[in-house]
């Protein structure tokens, strides 16, 4: 069965899209640690990130770099934190999280409620800044 992220990539499930190319897709995390929290996924459905082909893995990080630069232009923050967890969704992905303190990237913390309007505004503003 296709992963939830494959369904998002195919447009079968809606998402707040940031950018895509032929191999990678970026969209806002639906239950974010904070505004701008973005997921970068390979279109190829592989569960564990370190099972990806080495070239794909390297290129995925370069794609994530471009997304991180766009997020940082929109969200005032010290830097964009990077994390790989993968315990919830079995489709490899990189978390990009705007951070000022270590606590901002604590995956155990309670998540803020973000309205549909704010999600839409963020995805529009960040996607406009992406240069692929
Ligand atoms: P992980 O697998 O890295 O532990 O966590 C998966 C992440 O994917 C979580 O932060 C969760 O909020 C996010 N997520 C799970 N399902 C969806 C979804 O349907 N849409 C979006 N945009 N994010 C999701």
Domain harbouring 48, CATH code: 3.30.428.10
Distances (CA, A) of 32 to 53, 58, 79, 109: 28, 25, 16, 10
pLDDT at 97: 98
Distance 7 CA to ligand 1 centre (A): 13
Count of domains forming the chain: 1
Range of the domain at 44: 4-129
pTM for the whole thing?
Answer: 0.98
What ligand 1 atom has the least distance to the C-alpha of 89?
A: 2
State the Cα–Cα distance between residues 17 and 67, nearest whole angstrom. Answer: 11
90 lines ligand 1 (CB under 6 A): no
Q: How many residues does the chain have?
A: 132
Q: Where are the beta strands (DSSP E) in 43-131?
A: 79-83, 94-99
Q: Which residues does 80 contact at the CB level (< 8 Å), separation at least 6?
A: 68, 71, 72, 96, 97, 98, 99
Handedness of CA 78, 82, 87, 91 (dihedral sign): positive
Beta bridge partners of 27: 17, 39
pLDDT at 43: 98
The reply to whether 37 belongs to the active site is no
84 lines ligand 1 (CB under 6 A): no
Spans in the chain with pLDDT lower than 50: none
- Quick one: which H or E segment has residue 38? strand 38-42
Helix axes 54-74, 116-129, angle to 10 degrees: 110
88 lines ligand 1 (CB under 6 A): yes
Q: Which two tokens stand for residue 73?
A: 């232009």
Structure letter (DSSP) for residue 105: G
What ligand 1 atom has the least distance to the C-alpha of 27?
A: 22
């Amino acid at each position: 069965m296709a992963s939830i992220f494959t369904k998002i990539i195919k447009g079968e499930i809606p998402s707040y899209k940031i950018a895509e190319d032929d191999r990678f897709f970026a969209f806002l995390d639906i239950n974010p640690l904070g505004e701008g929290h973005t997921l970068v996924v390979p279109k190829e459905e592989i569960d564990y990130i370190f099972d990806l082909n080495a070239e794909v893995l390297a290129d995925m990080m370069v794609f994530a770099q471009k997304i991180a630069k766009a997020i940082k232009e929109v969200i005032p923050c010290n830097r964009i934190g990077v994390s790989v967890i993968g315990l919830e969704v079995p489709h490899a992905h990189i978390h990009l999280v705007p951070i000022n303190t270590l606590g901002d990237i604590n995956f155990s913390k309670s998540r803020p409620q973000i309205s549909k309007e704010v999600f839409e505004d963020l995805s529009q503003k960040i996607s406009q800044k992406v240069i692929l």
